[in-house]
Amino acid sequence: MGEQENDLDLATLNDDELVQQMHDDLYDGLAEEIDTAVRILLDREWQPYDILTKALVEGMRIVGVDFRDGILFVPEVLMSANSMKAGMKILKPLLAETGAPKMGKMLIGTVKGDIHDIGKNLVAMMMEGAGFDVVDIGINNPVEKYLEAIEEHQPDILGMSALLTTTMPYMKVVIDALVEKGIRSDIEVFVGGAPLNEAFAESIGADAYCRDAAMAVETAKEMMSRRQGSASAAMAGSG
């Protein structure tokens, strides 16, 4: 960013210009600017949910597209994600107060034997940005840990990450345990990580393979609207 941008007084921008500037600042990973801009919009009596969707989520959507297309790379995207987190930190308690509609809940963790967490963290952040509640159980998770967390948090989606060819088969151990416990159909299982592919996901009985964080968000949104659609259809049928 040039000097000129650094000197920009965000408070002098009108609402549209400020939101546009926030998209640029998210793209550039400028956490302090995002913090300031969110506070300015709150002072202007914007609803927290509008700030989340119109400024932050839309900004991250643009980041996600350029990440997918190889224009942005991991370090830049992590900075964008951290900037988004800076904004979300301010909005989180306010959103809880105003009861903004939640998209659904995802439990996510890297499987046993695997300590890679950068991709998982990105998925968690993008999912949060898209309005999902995310419970992140970290790295190196044995099946017992997944089961305990599922029981405690009752997520709509279980996301598993694996970056090693030696740890990816462990995803099947977790899915088999869900079947064994009779709770497989209660939860959508999404899997991701560099060595995985569609065929692998299918072979272990996962519901979806997510190539990247943007895909995880898209798939989760589609899945939730399908679920809500079938719930309304069932209600209509029973009425």
Exactly one of 52, 81, 88, 210 binds ligand B1M (CB under 6 A); which one?
210
Contacts with 105 (C-beta within 8 Å, 6 or more apart), sequence order: 132, 133, 134, 135, 153, 154, 155, 156, 157
Q: Is 9 exposed, middle or buried (0-12, 13-18, 19+ CB in 10 A)?
A: exposed
Please say which residue, 91 or 108, places its beta carbon nearer to ligand B1M. Answer: 108
Shortest distance, position 94 Cβ to ligand B1M, whole Å: 28
Count of residues near ligand B1M by CB under 6 A: 29
* Of 2-10, 42-50, 86-94, 208-216: span binding ligand B1M (CB under 6 A): 208-216
Report d(CA 112, CA 115) in Å as an integer. 8
- Min dist. Cβ of residue 157 to ligand B1M (A): 7
Looking at 28, 58, 66, 117, which residue binds ligand B1M (CB under 6 A)?
A: 117
String of contacts with ligand B1M for each residue 156-195, x by CB under 6 A: ---xxx-xxxx-----------------------xxxxxx
Query: Is there binding between residue 114 and ligand B1M (CB under 6 A)?
Result: yes
User: What's the Cα-to-Cα distance from 211 to each of 68, 89, 100, 218, rounded to whole Å?
Assistant: 9, 27, 29, 11
At 192, phi and psi to the nearest 5?
-160, 170
Is 28 a residue that touches ligand B1M (CB under 6 A)?
A: no
Select 41 or 108, whichever has its Cβ closest to ligand B1M.
108
Pick between residue 30 and residue 122 the one whose CB is nearest to ligand B1M: 122
Q: Which is nearer to ligand B1M, 35 or 212 (CB)?
A: 212
The Cα-based distances of 20 to 34, 57, 88, 172 in angstroms read 12, 12, 17, 44
Q: Specify the residue, 98 or 154, whose C-beta has the smaller distance to ligand B1M.
A: 154
Q: 194 and 163 in contact (C-beta within 8 Å)?
A: yes
Distance from C-alpha of 180 to C-alpha of 44, rounded to nearest angstrom: 53
Residues of this chain that bind ligand B1M (CB under 6 A): 74, 108, 113-120, 122-123, 159-161, 163-166, 190-195, 210, 212-213, 216
